[in-house]
Structure 1
Amino acid sequence: MAENPDFDIQDFVPYLLNQAAEASSLEFQQLYKDRYGMLRTEWRVLFHLGLYQRMTAVEICRKARMHKTKISRAVQKLADRRFLQRDRSAEDRRVEYLTLTPAGQAAYRDLMTAAAAYDARLMAGFTPAEAALLRQLLRRLAAG
């Protein structure tokens, strides 16, 4: 097996991004799990509906960049908990629009406040310019 003495996994950008994502999301993940019993996908569906108000599962898949099976399961769990409601399109019965219920809106507002506070704590170790640059570079990487 050929070795590359200049390659160090600790400096491999995908590895670093994964490590940073795990380290930075664990505490917040515990918060939405403890408060609402949600998994990561459910939290992401809730946040997309909170931000965009009315969406289809397909639209959430595209925006969240998640597989339709995971989104479908999350939608079902949130519907079971009465955090969202489903409305069939009058024009196309195959299309289902999702919106947050009052309970879902309350959970969204609560978690949005917690997310903003958590984000501020994460960014407190950076200067405003560093935080802005980090966000800009991460957006660029995410855009592909």
Structure 2
Amino acid sequence: MDNGDFDLETFLPFRLNRAAEFIALRFAAAYKAEYGLTRPEWRTLAALGSSGRMTATAVGTHSTMHKTKVSRAVFALEERRWLKRKQDEDDRRVEHLELTATGQTAYRELTRLAVDYSIELTSLIGEEGLQALSFGLRAVENAMARRRR
């Protein structure tokens, strides 16, 4: 097999992953320094804060995290008293998760941190660059959604 024509630096999955990682790591450093959260904890908090009551499975699907990472994040957020569980009345194997009042306060504070970071990214990338990136991402997401059908 001849790989002479393959250029990793132009391979879209590689570029998307690398760009996402650069952006995510910088934001992760901010919420870790401020709140001591791990990435799975932030993603779980964000999923629940933006969507409301969810199951752990739904959190994993929403945030594309493996169930063990979700489970550890749920436990950590519960230890902080930011999250509460409630067993489903019809299916006792299912637990519904939601933020406590303290968790909702933490989520609001963290969204302010996220808004500040978004402003910083906009200033770095520029409004036009951000619009182009958003357009490109929407095209990728739409193409992948059509492909799944």
TM-score by length of 2: 0.86
- Which sits farther off after the overlay, 132-141 or 107-116? 132-141
Helix, strand or coil at the partner of 2:41: helix
Counterpart CA distance in 1 for 2:25 and 2:80 is: 23
Gaps of 5+ in 1: none
**In 1, are the aligned partners of 2:31 and 2:113 still within 8 Å (CA)?**
no
**AA at the equivalent of 2:61:** R
Label 1:142 to 1:69 Cα distance change in 2 as closer, same or farther (>3 A).
Answer: farther
Tell me which residue corresponds to 1:19.
Answer: 18
Residue in 2 that maps onto 1:109: 108
Aligned partners of 1:120 and 1:52: how far apart in 2? 23
Give secondary structure in 1 for the equivalent of 2:89.
coil
Q: CA deviation at 1:21?
A: 1.4
> Secondary structure at the residue paired with 2:124?
coil
Provide, for residues 50-74 of structure 1, a one-character-per-residue CA deviation record: whole Å limited to 9, x for no partner: 0111111111112112211111111
Alpha-carbon separation, structure 1, partners of 2:139 and 2:74: 29
Q: Aligned AA for 2:3?
A: E
| Alignment: residue pair count | 143
- What letter corresponds to residue 15 of structure 1 in structure 2? F
Partner of 2:3: 3
Output the amino acid matched with 1:59: A
Which stretch shifts more, 10-19 or 133-142? Answer: 133-142
Equivalent-residue separation in structure 2 for 1:73 and 1:127 (angstroms): 37
Q: Report the Cα distance in structure 1 between the residues aligned to 2:139 and 2:76, rounded to whole angstroms.
A: 33
1:49 aligns with 2:42: no
* Sequence identity (%): 43
User: 1:92 is matched by which residue type in structure 2?
Assistant: D
1:33 maps to what in 2?
32
Report the aligned-residue RMSD.
1.7
Deviations 1:23-47 (A, max 9, x none): 2122210111112221111100000
Give 5+ residue unaligned stretches, structure 2. 145-149
Q: What is the TM-score when the length of structure 1 is the normalising length?
A: 0.88
Gap change, CA 1:59 and 1:70, over 3 Å in 2: same
